[in-house]
Structure 1
Amino acid sequence: MNALQPSLALIRDIEASEIEFMMDRMEAIRDRPGNPEGVEIERFGNAVCFYSKTMPWPAFNTVKGLAEADADRIDSIVAFYRDRGRAVQFEAVPALASSNLLRKLTEAGFYPSGIHTSMYVQPERREAVPAYLNSVQASGRGPEQETISIEALREDQLELYAAIHCRGTGLPDAGIPSVAANNQVLHGRPGWQFYLTYVDGVAAGAGVLFTQNNKASFTFAAVLPAYRNRGLHRRLLDARIDEAHRRGCGIAVGQCAYLSQSHRDMDRAGMKLGYVRTTWTRLDG
């Protein structure tokens, strides 16, 4: 049962969990010999600015933790990214971003370009059965049984994980070596746990958990297209909620697109809507 109730303290915990896992992830990538991805992390007041020279995607070049007290720091933050030839996106969290702050973003040439959902649950014991039978409809043959299992990722499976990561999210296979390298530094790092889910012994999906300061974050999950609609994502959620409970976490947080399949799976897993935050992007790109 989800006993956590909406409050300003809860919203701050949810945002903190997102900042903590991103901070630990980017620090681990930055600390690779020679910092090959050119990662930098800079603070402006409450705002935490993440940047990567070689990874241009918004997730690696974003500003988290922005608050009313940072309204007059927006120009300095924009200059930080401009000096590095990178566009920046800001994240604004309801109840933490005032109308004055949003007005300042608008005056700086930014507009709300997207929304993203943060879900939460109070971790509890789940029936984390290592393997189970799932009924599926076989084409032209009626229902069949398939065995589904979830196992911890071994270090020698990082290439496999990276392949699922890329193919499950629509990234090209050319990105597999980079994804593998950037997650190798997380595998075995305190707080991080990787999972693979199998269908009849074939790796079909992956999920990642990060725990710190009594908070858990579901940092990633993907299922290969051929294995979707089998409940694999839900099973990955249950396994991570169970592990978060085992680690003594008081809250577990996950992000998803609003009304996406992931959103529906999180709702079925007992997760509640924490907030829908907005992403702010500059009009001139």
Structure 2
Amino acid sequence: MLHLPSEELIHRIQRSETEYMYDRMQAIEGRTGNPEGIEMVRFGQALCLYSKTMPWLSFNTVKGLRSENLKDLDAIIDFYHSRDRKFQFEIVPAMVDQALLSALADRGFFQSAFHNSMYMNPQELVDMPDNGIVIKTIDKDEFEDYAKVHCLGTGLPVQGIPSVALNNRVLHARPGWRFYMAYVDEQPAAAGVLHMNHSTASLTFAATLPEYRRRGLHQELLRRRIREAKREGCNLVVGQCAFLSQSHRDMETVGMKLGYVRTTWTEREAES
């Protein structure tokens, strides 16, 4: 089945992005004592994500915002302001109207970034000859290696490795989650994560250590996860990437197409 652009497809892609983040945050929240201070609140279809100890915007985001959330904007903003946290709205085409965008601008928010949401039917993946790249699923005792690739591959400080390991290890046995590692000379070099739910697979994360880039590791991790989604009966694979990034080019290479470009809206800094 060929997936053609439609509002139904856009909503399905967006739901998958919200579902995997909700499940991820729920698992982290379930750690003894909720050490990361996770809170999640829904306003209709909109999901507000918050973490007390993780200030990065990806953990402090409003997902699934729709035109009908116009009446909820002040409550959503207050949710974050009361916690003294900078946050972002993710705006998806066809889900909001001019009135909501105007209301965001009136409240001091502006469009600050773009981000791609890509998709494909896994049946359309073209198999390639074996290139010798070794990829294995990650065992529960290998999340320190995963966290090292995660942090050093994305520019996070090495001090964060223990926390990243703990916050991902809780997903290891959780339904729908798969973690993969690519090796070069038997050394961990790149990692990728897959989440599957309701016949949709999300390529939730990937990173490659700087010294191993431009060796095809990311492309092979994409292919491995897409093949896994196909075996598990998924009929849609989605992923996110920065526009014109290497990830964007790799996703196009394996057959993924642009579903939409979502925008990020953040609050203007108060003038001193």
Which of 192, 202, 215 is the matching residue for 1:207? 192
Partner of 2:168: 183
Q: Which amino acid aligns with 1:29?
A: I
Q: 1:128, 1:242 within 8 Å by CA — same for their partners in 2?
A: no
Percent identical across equivalent pairs? 55
Q: Which amino acid aligns with 2:115?
A: H
- Tell me: CA distance 1:126–1:187, structure 2 relative to 1, closer, same or farther (3 Å): farther
Q: Does 2:39 align with 1:40? A: yes
Using the alignment, how far apart are the partners of 2:239 and 2:33 within structure 1?
32
- Give the Å deviation of 1:200: 2.4
Q: Does 2:54 align with 1:55? A: yes
Which of 148, 161, 170 is the matching residue for 2:146? 161
Partner of 1:226: 211
Using the alignment, how far apart are the partners of 1:128 and 1:81 within structure 2?
47
Using the alignment, how far apart are the partners of 1:109 and 1:26 within structure 2?
28
Q: 2:133, 2:220 within 8 Å by CA — same for their partners in 1?
A: no
Partner of 1:278: 263
Deviations 1:91-127 (A, max 9, x none): 1101111111111110111000111000001112664
Secondary structure of the equivalent of 1:270? coil
Using the alignment, how far apart are the partners of 1:155 and 1:64 within structure 2?
30
Secondary structure of the equivalent of 2:122? coil
Deviations 1:47-66 (A, max 9, x none): 10000000000000000000
**81-90 or 274-283: which moved more?**
81-90
Partner of 2:63: 64
Residue segments in structure 2 that go unaligned for 5+ positions in a row = none
Partner of 2:243: 258
Structure 1 runs (4+) greater than 6 angstroms displaced: none
Q: 2:133, 2:184 within 8 Å by CA — same for their partners in 1?
A: yes
Deviations 1:23-81 (A, max 9, x none): 00000000111000000000112210000000000000000000000012111100011
Q: Does 2:224 align with 1:239? A: yes
- Give the Å deviation of 1:18: 0.1
Partner of 1:76: 75
Partner of 1:174: 159
- Tell me: CA distance 1:128–1:217, structure 2 relative to 1, closer, same or farther (3 Å): farther
Q: 1:233, 1:265 within 8 Å by CA — same for their partners in 2?
A: yes
Q: 2:126, 2:254 within 8 Å by CA — same for their partners in 1?
A: no
Partner of 2:122: 123
Q: Which amino acid aligns with 1:10?
A: L
- Give the Å deviation of 1:284: 2.1
Using the alignment, how far apart are the partners of 1:237 and 1:88 within structure 2?
30
Secondary structure of the equivalent of 1:70? helix
- Give the Å deviation of 1:162: 0.2
Q: Which amino acid aligns with 1:69?
A: E
TM-score, with normalisation over the residues of structure 2?
0.96
Partner of 2:181: 196
Partner of 2:253: 268
Q: 1:114, 1:278 within 8 Å by CA — same for their partners in 2?
A: yes
Secondary structure of the equivalent of 2:39? strand
TM-score, with normalisation over the residues of structure 1?
0.92
Q: Which amino acid aligns with 2:29?
A: R
Partner of 1:18: 17
Point out the structure with max Rg over C-alpha: 1
Give the superposed CA RMSD: 1.3
Using the alignment, how far apart are the partners of 2:158 and 2:13 within structure 1?
33
Deviations 1:160-218 (A, max 9, x none): 00000001101111000000000010011110000000122221100000001111100
**236-245 or 195-204: which moved more?**
195-204
Q: Which amino acid aligns with 1:170?
A: G
Using the alignment, how far apart are the partners of 1:128 and 1:11 within structure 2?
29
1:124-163 alignment, distance < 5 Å: 124=123, 127=127, 132-133=130-131, 147-163=132-148
